[in-house]
Structures are given as structure tokens and as C-alpha cells.
Amino acid sequence: MKKIAVFTSGGDAPGMNACIRAVVRTAVYHKLEVYGIGRGYNGMIQGEIFRLFSHSVSNIIQKGGTILKSARCPEFQTPEGRKRAYDQISKFGIDGIVAIGGNGTFTGAQIFHEEYGIPVIGAPGTIDNDLYGTDYTIGYDTAVNTALDAIDKIRDTADSHERVFFVEVMGRDSGYIAMPCAIGGGAEMVMIPETITSMPEVIETLQQGWRRSKTSFIIIVAEGDDEGGATEIAAKVKQALPQMDAKVTIIGHVQRGGSPTAADRLLSSQMGMAAVEGLMAGRTNEMVGVINGEIVYTPFHDTITKKKPISESFLKLVQILSN
């Protein structure tokens, strides 16, 4: 292993830059040449590959987003696209790749390795925290804190105007952002893709609170909930309970941005170093993760195919503490 490359792909996440920094400086420490690939798989196909040095990643650990940029790339899903990517990688003599991204990124990396034998180690960069094989993903802690800050502000106006607020957070297939936001934000209910929450149950919860003279409510909705998004759910509640003043706030992509928290900076740095050292040790087709505070490596196949379960204790906390 003499030359490695690093790229970011999929949705951006706070801490990606800290991970890039760790990859570059770990490679330099071990006297490896390190290259950046701009714009994910798209940049790999287009040959957007450039040498990185220690000074290239100065003053980026605190920045959100990714200095390497990110882009969707349908062309990489084709054999012809992957062949073009391999030809570009070969020009630089790259021996291994660190892929920072999520499920789609690792799916592409696994196929690329199977076809061309380039060793790849993944670092989990996604705010959703939905990847099997790690307790936390890069950007998750920052996203939760960003959403929670907004929820605290919404609580103030909900209380002042005696309103029901349906707050939608990100999480297309995962309630990992919604759950701690509901607990930390003192929400009356949480709606997530992992559980079925019927509209009659939502309406009954609101009616029970109303009978106890409760005048404001916060309900956290993960965008992928089976009943729909916050706007759709709020419309159903207004129809059933016209006496309630129901409002909707969609926090949206603000959860992806911003300076990473200390937890995300530390996690990203650990994972970046472990990814490089994993490549040096001959590992491939694995994602680096942290479980119970220890670095672990999980095969891409397991990360891609296995479902990460939601904490039952968190569900119980919401139910008990919302009374």
C-alpha cells in the first residue's frame, strides 16, 4: 500500500471534513501518498483526482459540509461507468480507497471491488445513523443537536399560543434523529418508520392531554413515517379535532449543515485513522465503526443488508415521560 484516495459521496454530514483530515494526516504519518477525489463517484469517472498534503486539510476540522464535494452518480451504477472510474484510478496507481458515505456509497464500493479488486474501506458519513455495524455515524450528533435547538424554540411559541406543533425531522427510513429529539425536547409523541403509529392513537393522545388541561403539544415526526410527513398528519388531526390549532414545522436540510459537535469531530477523526490503518492491514469491503467505544470493522454486505434496530428503551422513555 503506497497510494490511497479518499472521497465523500451521498448526502453531506457535519464531520466529513474532520474525517478527510484524519485520513490525509494518517496517510502522511505512515508515509503514504494520498489523493482526493472530488464529487464522489462522478469525480472518479471524470478524473477529478488530485494530490493532498497535510497542509491541504488545515483549518477544516470545524467546518460543515465536505471540501471534496458530493454528487449523485447514476453512471457509476453501470458497468461502463465503473470501467471509466477504474481507468482514472489506474492512471494514479492508487492501491486503496477510503469511501465516506452511506448505504449507496458502500453498495457501489462493494461492486467496484468485486469487479476490479481495488481495496475499499468505508467510513459511515450520514446524519441518519441508520447503518448496521456502528453505534453512531458521522454527523448524527450534530444533526440531533441542530434539530433539538429548533424544537426548544418551537416549544416556546407552542406554549405561548396553546398550539399543537408537528415537527418533521430527517430520517427517510430511520427514527434515530426523531427519537432523541422527542426525549430531549419533551415531546408528547414520536412517529418513526420503525413502529406503526395509527392516527386514532395520535388523536386519542391529544384528546387525553386536552382533558388534563394540557394546552400545548409537540409531536416529532420522522419524514419516513408510515402515516406520511408532518403536513399530511397535521391535516388529518385538524379534520378530527377542529378545536385544536395545529401547526407544522419542517426542519429540513438545516440538519445537515453547521459546525460539527465535539462528539462528531472525535468520532470522525477516529474513523478516518482506522480506515487508513485498516487498508494498510489488508482489510477491504468493510465499514469502520465504533461499538461500545471500540473500533470495529463490519463487512459491507452486512452493513448494506442488515437493519439497525431502534432502541426499545428509548420508545419506553417517550411513552413514560410524555405523561
Instruction: Render each residue's pLDDT in the chain as its tens digit; 323 residues.
Output: 999 999 999 999 999 999 999 999 999 999 999 999 999 999 999 999 999 999 999 999 999 999 999 998 999 999 999 999 999 999 999 999 999 999 999 999 999 999 999 999 999 999 999 999 999 999 999 999 999 999 999 999 999 999 999 999 998 889 999 999 999 999 999 999 999 888 999 999 999 998 888 889 999 999 999 999 999 999 999 999 999 999 999 999 999 999 999 999 999 999 999 999 999 999 999 999 999 999 999 999 999 999 999 888 888 898 898 77
CATH fold of 3-139+260-305: Rossmann fold (3.40.50)
> One fold for both 3-139+260-305 and 142-256?
yes
Is 186 labelled as part of a ligand binding site?
yes
pLDDT of residue 284: 97
Q: With left for phi above 0 and alpha for psi between -120 and 50, is residue 162 left, alpha or beta? A: left
Calpha distance 67→10 (Å, rounded):
14
Name, in order, each residue with C-beta under 8 angstroms of 43's C-beta and a sequence gap of 6 or more: 7, 37, 49, 68, 69, 71
Is 276 labelled as part of a ligand binding site?
no
Is 23 labelled as part of a ligand binding site?
yes
Contact 77, 108 (CB under 8 A): yes
Contact 86, 112 (CB under 8 A): yes
Give the rounded distance of the alpha carbon of 191 from its chain centre. 19
pLDDT of residue 323: 72
Is 208 labelled as part of a ligand binding site?
no
The C-alpha torsion from 137 through 143 and 145 to 148, rounded to 10°, is -130
Q: What is the DSSP letter of 271?
A: H
Is 19 labelled as part of a ligand binding site?
no
Contact 105, 74 (CB under 8 A): no
- Give the full edge-to-edge strand order of the sheet including 120-124: 49-52, 33-37, 3-8, 96-101, 120-124, 286-291, 294-299
Architecture of domain 142-256: 3-Layer(aba) Sandwich (3.40)
80 CB burial (10 A radius; 0-12, 13-18, 19+): exposed
51: helix, strand or coil: strand
Longest dimension (CA), the chain: 71
Calpha distance 294→225 (Å, rounded):
32
The position carrying cell 384528546 is: 207
Tell me the catalytic residues: 128
Predicted TM-score (pTM) of the model is 0.96
Is 127 labelled as part of a ligand binding site?
yes
Give the rounded distance of the alpha carbon of 299 from its chain centre. 19
Is 224 labelled as part of a ligand binding site?
no
Percent helix, strand, coil in the chain (nearest 5)?
Answer: 45, 20, 35
97: helix, strand or coil: strand
pLDDT of residue 311: 84
Domain spans in the chain, listed from the N-terminal domain onward: 3-139+260-305, 142-256
pLDDT of residue 285: 97
